[in-house]
Structures are given as C-alpha cells and as structure tokens.
C-alpha cells in the first residue's frame, strides 16, 4: 500500500489535536449533565423515508448497501442511509421509546453526522455536533426556551474558544410584524429577508416589492425591523417605535425579551446573547424562538450552531411532541481552529512522566515505578529502549512529555534514589513515586491558544 | 409518522443504560491514558480497496453512495464504505501520518464499526469497540506484547462486568510444534485445530489425518498440545513433556511464558490470564502472540475481544510497521448484559437533586438554587411545573432522582429555610445550597448489578 491521501471532507485529527476535541466534548457533557440533560446516542443509520421527510436535504444523504447483498434478501438492507443531523434520529427515538421516557425529556447528544455535500472549510462530509433539546408531550412550557439558551450559553462560555455570540429571534415576532404591516404572505417575506446576509439591502427591498407584493414603504419597514439588535431588552422599544401592532408580534416580543433577560447572567465578554431581528432561519418547522451561534473572527464560517422551538418535533398521529433545542457544530468550529493553529494540544501523548530505563534488565523496576505513579493518577510510560539518558530525555521531548523519572537500585536490586527532572527547566529533584504529583497544569495535555502558545492555558 | 420499530442489528440504549456504557468507556479511556496510550479517532469511511484487501470480509462491508450523486461526478464518492473494524483504518492512519507520529506509537481508539452480517445477540451491524495497539517502525520489541496484555487486563478488571478471562497463545509455539512433529503444512493444521471449539476432538483428529496428511500419532500429539492450559508458566513443562523439539517452539514457549509471567500481577478473581494452547485465531496475519477474551457465564457470545502481534500491520513498500494490540467489544459485551438486566443504571437522568418549584413566580429562585448546587458540582434540575409537592416528589421518583430540595422565601423575596429530602428514606434536613454535597454514590448515576440490584454498586 502506498502512502494514502486524505479524503476530502472527512477530517481526522492528530493525537495532540484529539486531546483538544476531547477537552471540548468532556466539558460540554459536564455542563449538560449538571443541568440534568441525559445522554442519548442513536444509531448512525435511519430508514430513508425518515431521512427524506424534508425533501430539501435529500441530495445530501449517503445511502448504504451491502457490497455483496443477496438479491433475494436485498430488502433487508434496502432503504437505510446515514443521518445528516441529530434531530431527525432523535425525533424518531422519542417516538420509538415514548413509553419508556419521562417527559419533559432533556437530552444531549454528541455524535457524528454525514452529508454528501461539497466540502469546504467548516463544512465537512463527516462532522461531530453537540445537540441539546427538551421535549414534552402535547405542550412545552415557554421557560424551556430560556433554559436551553442558558445551558448552551454556559456550556460554550467555559470552552477555550474565541468569543461566541448567540443571536436570538422569534418567528412569532417577525411573522406578527409582517402581518401587522399587511403582508399577505409572511412566509415569503421571511424567505427574502433571510437573504440579508448575502445580498445588499437595496436588492432585498426590491425583491420584497417584486416577489412578496409589498409596497416600498412596507419593504422599508421590514428592513428597519431587520436592522434592530441589542444585548438587552432595549430592542422592545425600538420595535414598538416602528408603530406596528399585531397580537403575534406582542407575544413574540415578550418571548424574545424573556430569553434575552433570562440569559443576562451569561452575557459577557467571552459569550454574548443578542436579540437580532434579522435572524429568520429558513427552516419552516420553527414556530417561536430561533437561535444561531457565531464565532468572533470566524464569521466566514457562517453560523457554527443554531436551533429553536418546533411545536411538532415528532408526532405519531395521536400525540404530538413539541421541542426546543440548540445544536453546536464541534467539527465546524474545531477543525478550522486546529488546522490554523489557533488551538493546539500541548503534547502528543497523555503521559506526564517518562520513566527512564537504565538497562533492559531493569524493565520490571521501571514498570513498577510507572505503576506507582499511575496509582496516584499520574499518566506515565516507560522508555521503549535502554538508550543513553540524553536520548531518553529527547524521546520525552519529542512527545512533549514534561518530566523524566530516574532511579537507582539498592543492594537488593530494589529501586531507590528517585529523582524527577522537569526537562523544560532542567531542574531535577528527589521525589517519591508513591506520592509525587506534577503541577496540575502538567497532569493532562493542556489546550494552547494562539495568543500565547507557550503560556496561556485553559483547563 | 406511526410508531417506528427498531432496526435489527442496530441496538440503541435508553438513557439509564447509556450511563452504564459511558461509565465503561470513561474507565477504559482513563486506564489507557494512564498507560500513555494516545487517543485516535478515524473517519467512519475507508476507500473500498483498503477495506477489501482481506477478501474474506468483503461481503460484510456497507458501501456508500450519495442518494442524488451527479453521474458525471460519481467518481468523487465512488468506492467508499463504512469500516468494519478499527485495525484497517488505524493501519491506514499510521501510513498517512507516519511523518507526524513518534514511534513507538501507543494509541487507543474507542469507536463504532459496521458489518452487514446477520444480527444475533452479541453480533450487531453497528457496534462499538475499544482497541489498543502499539506500532513501531521496522521492528517492535517483544516487551510490548506483555504491555498490551497487561494494560487491557487492568482496564477490564476494573469494570463492573462479570469476570473476564484473557486466553493467550503464540503462533510461533504452535507452528514450531507442528513443524517439530513433521507436519508438512502447519497452516492447514492450525486451520483444523481451530475447529476444536465447534467439533468433537475425534472428528478433528480424523480431519488432521485426512486433510493435513498427519499420521494418527501426529494427530494425537496435536490434540495433546491443544488440551494444555494454565494460569501460570507450568504449561512450559507440560509442552516439553510431549517431547517435541523445534527452534520456533522454543522461542514461542519463551514468549508465551513471558506474557503469562508479566500478567501475574493482574491475574485474580475478576480477571484471569491463561495460556491456552488450543487458541489459534484463524487470521493469518498474526505472527506471534495471540489473544482472545471471554466473559464468564457468557461463553455463548464466543470471544468478546481478541488480538495479537502482526509483524506487518502496515507497509508503504519502504517501511514496515509491526504492531501488537487487543480489541474489546463494548457493544458485544454490554448490550446483552443491559438487555438481560445483569447491568442497569440507577436513574434515567444525571440530576442528583430536583429543586422544587413553589409557584411559577418563584422559578428564578429555584433556578438560582439549582445553579448554586451545580457550582458545587451537583447535577440539578428544577421541577417543570409548580405542582403540589407530593407530585413533585413523584416526578423525582419516576426519574430516580434521589433528593428533592425545598426552600421558603424571606420578607425580601430571597430563598431561605433550605431543606433537602432524601426521597428514599423520607429524611429531610436543613442544608446550604452553596456547600451541600450528596453522598458520593448518589452524585452521578450508579451501575447496578443483578446480584443485588438495590445495594451492590460499582464506581
């Protein structure tokens, strides 16, 4: 086999990068669980009819077949494909297990998904994401909209990532506004206003007139609404100043104000929550709150997450399951940051200590020392070969292992005279393998950030 | 959508079961990392030519195609399939990244794989496994055979599972023995002896005569060798007593004795390591040590793991990468244990505490109390609705949440008079949300074992 080449759209990480991803997923999981969200993992595949219920994604689905499927049994496998998000499989999981779940059901799901779309930075054919959702039977109280926003905000604000912004809007608010100005087809207005991030506002205004049948004055009001954004509830007065009245608008303003207000405790430098009235999210199953997440300095990635409320996440004909949730793109965020060196792991192995090997006959001694360190929770490995100590130190250096452990042997052949060397400073001190601990920041690989790769570390 | 039915061979877990799997994978990961094994995760797909290099597995591969692939661009996607194990993708990863890895390279990989085979208990079409391997350039010292056995033994012995047995043999030993008795085609003898777990020994003896051209006396010696097993190095004398001499046999005996000897510290009640001279493992890329793992009381699952040494894990024509490793079947082990109730999670949510909600207006107070608990590392959720306290307690009960938190409000509307109730005992005591901790065994969902589902808990 000659040297293989990477497969476009299927990113893989080196071990030192994988540590960073692990730190991120561990941290997300911890926050979600602290808030009572239970883990769910769904199979990678779904029946095609479940994947294709929303026609727009059909061209992205990877379909599976067994290479040597027996034609007579072909239907056993026929019609399954890889899931392209975690919402479709979760909705199916809720229906399938409804009798065994307690509602409201809070779940998180950190898993891969696949889309056969054209790869580009931040958009991959295989990608990991982290979703949280709360699902209820029949009716889902509004306070869960605030809860999912706050949980995701807290989860992202403690990650070692560039500052993030959660933009929030409300479909009732914009639909009520468009109805209030007399638009006959609010869905069409939403579709056109949603293009504001790609097209100049004059073009959007022309489209609103030509395609949504608005007057120029109505189109102008739509753009005025879209221009409003605020990190507090001051947007309410700005919207009211536009002089439009509609019950849905009133309800939407209340809900959006409640989300922004409810997130005030997490609103800060590393994470901000902003009412952003241009946000629409094209998908028409959202019925109230909508979210999108952006990363500072990486706006070219577009949103790195999003979500909202859907009044019918799933339905079996008798019972309807409304939900509200947010998804965060782990691969979309981390792969660009890692490949650009904005984030890096501090070493390529988990080992904090390399136990030196004086000679091959001493391997059981070195093994025993390493095992004592591990019993104290310190990751350790033994040198692969009894090279000169200078070479063993370089062995550690190449892997980023910060400490090398030396020892002698007493007259009975037991290990003695233990010394630990910090190979960065060169400092060597006596130590007891049963009790020694490295500084906390050296115990496990650290996440280094570009600003100051040598010093700045996030835990 | 009507109620979906499960897909045969694609097991999914309920949240309370998923906690058990998480506990197992977290524990495996911790042991592997303490021993310096670095994490690798490979993409789910490989080029078909890489998957099919070993013809025997070809019929199990799931091939991918994009549902609406453009015929003119079909070759972009053509020829990729889901990996059916973690060894093939790891070998490719090593070749692809050889210039960026340090050798010896210790890696663990905990991930799913897919095989389109007929599903049965313990054999799934989608399954998770945990692999460890050590890979070197050109030559891999023998002591790594001992290391991987010891690391996997340690990793499995601390899991809350039925006792496990690691059976070990050595291909040099058996090949040398067969050569020593004058067998002209040792590979054929290995293939036939490998059937001893399915066929009676008399049938195997007849096959050895008829198909491998052995005399009855030679066949008898082969069976005598296969009968030998021992948890210590006493097997060496038993083999020598058969009076066969061959250099390969001598080398194999030394190696097998070294593995058994090297694992003596982990040999115990919950985990045993046994030299088992009938073990061959059909796959012909193993060149020395071979391993299989069995679970007590679940021998019908056959091996729940296995591995060995391969002198050419990967090769790019110039450099050869030998390796030694062991794989453990997570789904194969856990899904039967969970579905039979041998293992269960103690609750369906991570929350250790349900914070009561006196009335809807008090939600900010309840939220603040929950947040104080979370700041102390205690998973907590707030009751979904301000029902009567009896109903809120039953809400906690249904989810297995052990504690319910009550509070009052002082004249300024601040929370006061905090009380925590253990709903199992009914005991209610005053507590401070800023410092209160549940007993350690209640902090996170526990793993319950069948022997005594109410009491016995493993951490």
pLDDT value at A284 more than 70: no
Q: What is the pLDDT of residues B119-149, one digit of tens each?
A: 999 999 999 999 999 999 999 999 999 999 9
- Give residue A57's pLDDT: 56
Residue numbers of the domain that contains B405? 351-443
Q: What is the pLDDT of residues B415-435, one digit of tens each?
A: 999 999 999 999 999 999 999
The answer on B191 and B75 residing in a single domain is yes
CB contact under 8 A, B38 and A63: no
Q: State whether residue A55 sits within 8 Å of chain B by CB.
A: no
- Give residue A454's pLDDT: 41
pLDDT band for position A281 (cuts 50, 70, 90): confident
Of B2, B7, B93, the CB nearest to A317: B2
The answer on B358 and B335 residing in a single domain is no
A447-456, B273-282, B380-389: the lowest-pLDDT one: A447-456
The answer on B384 and B325 residing in a single domain is no
The answer on B320 and B357 residing in a single domain is no
Domain count, chain B: 2
Instruction: Work out the average pLDDT over B440-447.
Output: 96
Average pLDDT taken over every residue of chain A: 93
Give the distance from residue A316's alpha carbon to the nearest chain B alpha carbon, in angstroms: 5
The answer on A386 and A313 residing in a single domain is no
- Give residue A55's pLDDT: 61
Q: What is the pLDDT of residues B314-372, one digit of tens each?
A: 899 899 999 999 999 999 999 999 999 999 999 999 999 999 999 999 999 999 999 99
Domain end marker among A294, A314, A344: A344
Residue of A nearest to B59 (CA): A68
pLDDT band for position B71 (cuts 50, 70, 90): low
Chain B CB contacts of A141 under 8 Å are 384-385
CB contact under 8 A, B4 and A106: no
pLDDT value at B56 more than 70: no
Domain of A404, CATH number, reads 3.40.50.800
Q: What is the pLDDT of residues A395-413, one digit of tens each?
A: 999 999 999 999 999 998 8
Give the distance from residue A95's alpha carbon to the nearest chain B alpha carbon, in angstroms: 6
Q: Is residue A456 one of the residues assigned to a domain?
A: no
pLDDT band for position A117 (cuts 50, 70, 90): confident
Q: State whether residue A12 sits within 8 Å of chain B by CB.
A: yes
Of A13, A36, A61, the CB nearest to B349: A36
pLDDT band for position B283 (cuts 50, 70, 90): low
Q: What is the pLDDT of residues B189-239, one digit of tens each?
A: 999 998 998 899 999 999 999 999 999 999 999 999 999 999 999 999 999
Q: State whether residue A81 sits within 8 Å of chain B by CB.
A: yes
CB contact under 8 A, B2 and A316: yes
The answer on B171 and B72 residing in a single domain is yes
- Give residue B148's pLDDT: 98
The answer on A245 and A218 residing in a single domain is yes
Q: Is residue B301 one of the residues assigned to a domain?
A: yes
CB contact under 8 A, A114 and B317: no
CB contact under 8 A, A349 and B104: no
A54-63, B223-232, B318-327, B374-383: the lowest-pLDDT one: A54-63
CB pairs under 8 A between A and B: 226
From chain B residues 422-451, the ones with a CB under 8 A of any chain A CB are: 444
- What 3 state SS string does chain A have? CCCCCCCCCCCCCCHHHHHHHHHHHHHHHHHHHHCCCEECCCCCEEEHHHHCCCHHHHHHCEEEEECCCCHHHHHHHCCEEECCCCHHHHHHHHHHHHHHCCCCEEEEEEEEEECCCCCECCECCEEEEEEEEEECCCCCCCHHHHHHHHHHHHHHHCCCCCCEEEEEEEHHHHHHHHHHCCCCCHHHHHHHHHHHHCCCHHHHHHHHHHHHCCCHHHHHHHHHHHCCEECCCCHHHHHHCCCCCCHHHHHHHHHHHHHHHHCHHHCCCCEEEEEECCCCCCCCCCCCEEEEEEECCCHHHCCCEEEEEEEEEEECCCCEEEEEEEEEEHHHHHHHHHHCCCEEECCCCCCCEEECCCCHHHHHHHHHHHHHHHHCCCCEEECCCCCCHHHHHHHHHHHCCCEEEEEEECCCCCEEEEEEEECCCCCEEECCCCCCCCCHHHHCCCEEECCCCCCCEEC
Instruction: Work out the average pLDDT over B99-116.
Output: 97
Domain end marker among B318, B344, B370: B344
Q: State whether residue A54 sits within 8 Å of chain B by CB.
A: no
The answer on A322 and A194 residing in a single domain is yes
Q: Is residue A218 one of the residues assigned to a domain?
A: yes
pLDDT value at B454 more than 50: no
Q: State whether residue B19 sits within 8 Å of chain A by CB.
A: yes
């Amino acid at each position: 086999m000659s040297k293989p080449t990477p497969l476009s759209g299927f990113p893989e990480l080196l071990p030192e990068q994988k540590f960073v991803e692990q730190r991120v997923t561990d941290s997300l999981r911890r926050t979600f669980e602290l808030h009572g969200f239970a883990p769910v993992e769904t199979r990678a595949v779904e029946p095609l009819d479940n994947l294709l219920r929303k026609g727009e994604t059909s061209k992205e689905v990877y379909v599976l077949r067994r290479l040597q499927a027996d034609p007579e049994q072909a239907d056993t496998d026929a019609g399954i494909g890889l899931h392209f998000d975690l919402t479709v499989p979760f909705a199916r999981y809720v229906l399938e297990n409804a009798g065994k779940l307690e509602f409201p059901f809070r779940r998180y799901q950190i898993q891969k998904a696949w889309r056969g779309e054209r790869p580009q930075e931040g958009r991959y054919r295989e990608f990991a994401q982290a979703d949280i959702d709360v699902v209820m039977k029949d009716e889902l109280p509004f306070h869960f909209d605030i809860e999912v926003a706050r949980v995701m905000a807290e989860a992202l604000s403690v990650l070692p990532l560039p500052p993030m912004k959660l933009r929030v809007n409300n479909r009732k608010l914009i639909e009520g506004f468009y109805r209030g100005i007399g638009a006959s087809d609010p869905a069409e207005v939403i579709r056109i206003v949603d293009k504001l991030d790609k097209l100049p506002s004059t073009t959007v205004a022309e489209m609103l007139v030509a395609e949504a049948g608005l007057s120029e004055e109505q189109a102008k009001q739509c753009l005025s609404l879209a221009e409003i954004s605020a990190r507090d509830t001051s947007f309410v007065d700005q919207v009211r100043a536009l002089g439009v009245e509609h019950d849905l608008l009133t309800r939407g303003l209340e809900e959006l104000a409640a989300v922004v207000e409810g997130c005030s405790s997490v609103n800060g430098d590393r994470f901000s929550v902003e009412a952003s009235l241009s946000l629409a999210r094209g998908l028409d199953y959202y019925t109230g709150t909508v979210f999108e997440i952006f990363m500072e300095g990486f706006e070219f990635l577009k949103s790195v997450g999003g979500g909202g409320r859907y009044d019918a996440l799933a339905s079996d004909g008798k019972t309807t399951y409304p939900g509200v949730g947010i998804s965060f793109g782990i691969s979309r965020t981390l792969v660009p940051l890692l490949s650009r060196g904005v984030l890096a792991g501090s070493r390529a192995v988990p080992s904090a200590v390399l136990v030196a090997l004086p000679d091959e006959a001493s391997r059981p001694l070195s093994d025993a020392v390493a095992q004592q360190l591990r019993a104290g929770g310190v990751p350790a490995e033994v040198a692969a070969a009894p090279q000169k100590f200078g070479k063993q130190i370089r062995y550690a250096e190449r892997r980023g292992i910060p400490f090398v452990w030396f020892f002698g042997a007493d007259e009975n052949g037991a290990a003695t005279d233990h010394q630990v060397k910090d190979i960065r400073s060169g400092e060597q001190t006596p130590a007891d393998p049963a009790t020694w601990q490295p500084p906390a920041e050296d115990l496990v690989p650290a996440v280094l950030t570009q600003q100051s790769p040598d010093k700045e570390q996030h835990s």
